[in-house]
Amino acid sequence: MDLYDTIAHSDWAGWRDELAGLSGLDPDAISMAYHVTRPARSVGAYATPEDDMHALLQAAGIAEPDPALVGSLAEAESEFGGDRVFLYEDSLPTVAALRATGAKTALVSNCSHGTRPIVVRLGLVDAFDAVVLSFEVGARKPQAGIYEAALRALDAEPGDAIFVDDQTAYCDGARSLGIDTRLIMRADAQPAEGFAPSTNGHMVISGLTALL
């Protein structure tokens, strides 16, 4: 299962505006910088949370970010992850119910350094049999490597697995390996990538209880 807008949701717009206030940058420039740097941040191209923030500030237009500013913003991002990312009500109960049937579960997320503390805080390390974060395995959805890492972690074959995500393209990546898919489109979700205009034939669900 995917993390953001599948298992949990965040106040992304609030964080963007807070970062704009702290850095003096325009919110639109910050949104663009997150988009531009996401591929590299998601595969661990930058060694630390501070390196992630340095790259983001450069992409937003600050050629030589002040190290003190970088450090303070990285800390602020950590605090954001600590209190402004929330589980959906059906997340933990559904995962627990699936595991009670003997099914193995993995959390599979495109993310950067800031997500590992979030996963720990939300109790997801214990809730799932495996946690596969793109920046730690060096591959991101829809690249085959991240799905394959999840399958290895569960000792599972593609034909025995179901992948759940809010992004059509990421479900496409799973399906290309022979994994069954569910495209989750929660009524109140607002993913940063938006929802794709086509479901591309993936079965659509509106909540995780549909897996039971």
Averaged over 192-203, what is the pLDDT?
A: 92
At 80 the pLDDT is 85
Tell me how far apart the alpha carbons of residues 22 and 121 are, in angstroms, rounded to a whole number: 25
Q: What is the CATH number of the domain that holds 200?
A: 3.40.50.1000
At 194 the pLDDT is 86
Shared domain check, 111 and 55: no
Q: What is the pTM of this model?
A: 0.94
Higher pLDDT, 147 or 196: 147
At 122 the pLDDT is 95
Shared domain check, 125 and 75: no
Shared domain check, 67 and 29: yes
Per residue in 48-76, pLDDT (tens digit) is 999 999 999 999 999 999 999 999 999 99
Shared domain check, 180 and 114: yes
* Amino acid at residue number 174: A
pLDDT above 90 (res 81) = no
Q: Which domain holds residue 113?
A: 86-211
Shared domain check, 171 and 67: no
At 52 the pLDDT is 97
Shared domain check, 128 and 183: yes
**What total of structural domains would you count in the chain?**
2
At 79 the pLDDT is 87
Give the Cα-Cα-Cα angle 122, 177, 192 (nearest 5 degrees).
45
Q: What is the b/e burial string over 34-47, where b = at least 16 CB atoms within 10 angstroms of the residue's CB?
A: beebbebbbbbebe
Assess contact for 109 and 28: CB atoms under 8 A.
no
Shared domain check, 105 and 186: yes
At 30 the pLDDT is 96
In a domain, 3, yes or no: no
Shared domain check, 46 and 101: no
Averaged over 126-134, what is the pLDDT?
A: 98
At 134 the pLDDT is 98
Averaged over 103-107, what is the pLDDT?
A: 98
In a domain, 2, yes or no: no
**pLDDT class of 133 with cuts at 50, 70, 90:** very high
Strands lying side by side in the sheet with 180-184: 162-165, 180-184, 203-205
At 153 the pLDDT is 98
In a domain, 49, yes or no: yes
In a domain, 4, yes or no: no
In a domain, 157, yes or no: yes
Averaged over 80-96, what is the pLDDT?
A: 93
Two tokens, residue 149: 């890492």
pLDDT above 90 (res 83) = no
Shared domain check, 42 and 111: no
| pLDDT over 70, % of the chain | 100
**pLDDT class of 104 with cuts at 50, 70, 90:** very high
In a domain, 75, yes or no: yes
Residue/partner pairs of 86-93 with CB below 8 Å, 24 or more apart: 86/8, 86/9, 86/10, 87/7, 87/8, 87/122, 88/7, 88/8, 88/9, 88/186, 88/207, 88/208, 90/207, 90/208, 90/209, 91/7, 91/8, 91/208, 92/123, 92/127
Shared domain check, 106 and 95: yes
Shared domain check, 28 and 125: no
In a domain, 106, yes or no: yes
pLDDT above 90 (res 193) = no
